């Protein structure tokens, strides 16, 4: 990318992943420009985080639109005011239409709280506990029109603790997300990772598998 990667962060909620981006950029550890934070919910706490950091915000409520396509067109028109190079979904809870994804082809990242392709969809932490899995984690991937199905970039995995609740597990997964998401976005921002021919390319080579980083039970990278 020629100039500093102009990044829009899309949220629906508390925005702890957004905060991780703000902190990394603030200390010079991540070379992205946080151009705008967008929410589909006016009361999302992430909007407060953005304002505190001096980042422009925008909000469009999906309930004000007749359908998904008209909402998505309005969101794209708003985001395009900032000419983003990269869209980062950070707890963004609205499925994006094929037309929206095509408009930003290869430029949208999501973090999904599971080791994809395991556990696409919602409520992942409880499903992992119910299955008795030993490992869980989160996946940064390019967004395609296939929900949670786009090519993977980076996974952080951590051991499941047998006796824990879904909320405890979620908190530990989030601590991992706050480390891997800014890192993966930085790779895209500096051109080390690209989306080409429907795949992830890393260092100029097509990547079948994502980069996998292993963490201990308290979120330290091993
Ligand atoms: N859009 C596309 N096209 N592809 C993906 O991979 C996407 C996406 C939009 C969001 C995040 C995803 C996740 O990581 C994401 C990935 C929301 C739902 C959902 O069912 C599912 C997956 C994800 C996000 N949303 C409901 C809907 O009707 C609304 C749920 C709510 O408002 O609470 O959009 O988990
Ligand atoms: C994160 O754990 C992210 O993986 C998950 O929501 C959380 C957002 O937290 N994303 C989804 O479930 C997408 N459907 P945050 O708002 O504190 O960043």
Task: Answer yes or no: is the C-beta of 37 below 6 A from any ligand 2 atom.
Answer: no
Q: Considering only CA atoms, which of 53, 71, 57, 80 is closest in space to residue 11?
A: 57
- Identify the CATH number of the domain defined by range 1-104: 3.40.50.170
Task: Answer yes or no: is the C-beta of 72 below 6 A from any ligand 1 atom.
Answer: no
Confidence of residue 134 (pLDDT cuts 50, 70, 90): very high
Q: Considering only CA atoms, which of 96, 83, 100 is closest in space to residue 35?
A: 83
Where does CATH 3.40.50.170 sit in the chain? 1-104, 113-139+153-222
Residue 212: phi and psi, rounded to 5, are -120, 125
135-183 pLDDT, tens digit per residue, is: 999 999 999 999 999 999 999 999 999 899 999 999 999 999 999 999 9
Distances (CA, A) of 160 to 129, 131, 140, 163, 165: 8, 11, 19, 9, 10
Task: Answer yes or no: is the C-beta of 138 below 6 A from any ligand 2 atom.
Answer: yes
**Chain-centroid distance, C-alpha 176:** 13
Catalytic residue flag (residue 62): no
Per the listing, tokens 């990278």 go with 221
Residue 55 C-alpha to ligand 1 middle, in angstroms?
A: 24
Strand-pairing partners, residue 202, are 193, 205
The pairing of strands 108-112 and 211-214 is unpaired
Q: Write out the two tokens for 128.
A: 């992992």
Confidence of residue 197 (pLDDT cuts 50, 70, 90): very high
Distances (CA, A) of 46 to 16, 56, 158, 217: 7, 12, 26, 27
Give the number of the atom of ligand 2 that is nearest the alpha carbon of residue 92.
13
Query: Please, what is the end-to-end C-alpha distance for the chain in angstroms?
Result: 31
| 1 has a pLDDT exceeding 80 | no
Task: Answer yes or no: is the C-beta of 19 below 6 A from any ligand 2 atom.
Answer: no
Give the number of the atom of ligand 2 that is nearest the alpha carbon of residue 113.
4
Question: Could you tell me the strand order of the sheet in which 5-11 lies?
Answer: 57-59, 32-39, 5-11, 86-89, 108-112, 135-142, 152-159, 211-214
68-114 pLDDT, tens digit per residue, is: 999 999 999 999 999 999 999 999 999 999 999 999 999 999 999 99
Strand-pairing partners, residue 39, are 11, 59
Q: Do residues 112 and 120 lie in contact, with contact meaning Cβ atoms separated by under 8 Å?
A: yes
d(CA 133, CA 118): 11
Per the listing, tokens 């010079």 go with 28
Residues whose CB falls within 8 Å of the CB of residue 93, separated by 6 or more in sequence, listed in order: 12, 13, 40
27-75 pLDDT, tens digit per residue, is: 999 999 999 999 999 999 999 999 999 999 999 999 999 999 999 999 9
The pLDDT value given to residue 132: 97
Q: Write out the two tokens for 164.
A: 């824990």
Q: Indicate which residue of 103, 112, 125, 141 is catalytic.
A: 112
**Which ligand has its closest atom nearest to the C-alpha of 44?**
2
| 2 has a pLDDT exceeding 70 | no
Instruction: Give the CATH class of 113-139+153-222.
Output: alpha beta
């Amino acid at each position: 990318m020629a100039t500093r990667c102009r990044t829009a962060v899309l949220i629906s909620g508390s925005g702890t992943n957004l905060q991780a981006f703000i902190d990394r950029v603030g200390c010079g550890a991540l070379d992205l420009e946080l151009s705008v934070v967008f929410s589909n919910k006016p009361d999302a706490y992430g909007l407060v985080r953005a304002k505190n950091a001096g980042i422009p915000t925008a909000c469009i409520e999906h309930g004000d639109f007749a359908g998904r396509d008209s909402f998505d067109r309005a969101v794209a028109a708003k985001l395009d005011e900032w000419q983003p190079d990269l869209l980062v979904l950070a707890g963004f809870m609205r499925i994006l239409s094929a037309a929206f994804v095509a408009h930003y082809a290869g430029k949208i990242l999501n973090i999904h709280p599971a080791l994809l392709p395991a556990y696409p969809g919602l409520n992942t932490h409880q499903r992992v506990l119910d299955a008795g899995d030993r490992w869980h984690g989160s996946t940064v991937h390019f967004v395609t029109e296939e929900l949670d199905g786009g090519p993977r970039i980076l996974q952080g995995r951590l051991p499941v603790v047998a006796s824990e609740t879904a909320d405890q597990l979620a908190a530990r997964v989030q601590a991992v997300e706050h480390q891997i998401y800014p890192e993966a976005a930085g790779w895209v921002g500096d051109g080390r990772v690209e989306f080409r021919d429907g795949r992830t390319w890393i260092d100029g080579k097509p990547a079948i598998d994502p980069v996998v980083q292993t963490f201990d039970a308290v979120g330290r990278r091993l």
